[in-house]
Copies of this chain bind each other. A is one copy, B any other.
Amino acid sequence: MISFENFKLIDGVPIYIQIIKHIKQGIVSGEILDNDEVPSRRALSTLLGINPNTIQKAYKELEDEGLLENRPGAKSFMSINPEDLERIGIALISQDIEAFIQSMKAMNLTIEEVTLLLEKKWRG
């Protein structure tokens, strides 16, 4: 079952977008596998303390992208192809890294300063 243990809501970004990203990250990390069962809308909404409709919106978008499948019994399951995995991984990582680099460069930090800060905070 997909874990939402380390999931923290960020302010200013739509919640359903954050849920989608979290699930995609689980896919990339290998934590979420093909055919894994997805938490029900109700269960997840009470777990995260947000509205079922918001969960529904996230699931709907994943379904449209072909990553999630509804099956009889009202349960939903992941549907991940190897190509999906690679595509998503590259997209997520490069997106994050590029945004991060742009931000760091905008503040005139050097690669050395950034890696130093990064290593320090990574443990911490």
Contact = CB atoms under 8 A, between A and B. Distances in A.
A107 B8 contact: no
A35 interface: no
Interface string A57-83: 000000000000000000000000000
A47 interface: no
Contact of A92 (B12, B101, B107): B107
B97 A121 contact: yes
Q: Give chain A's interface secondary structure class.
A: helix
Interface in A1-51: 6, 8, 10, 12-14, 17, 21-22, 25-26, 28-31
Given A25-B107, A30-B108, A94-B121, 9 more contacts: A10-B99, A22-B106, A25-B106, A97-B118, A100-B100, A101-B121, A111-B122, A114-B118, A118-B118
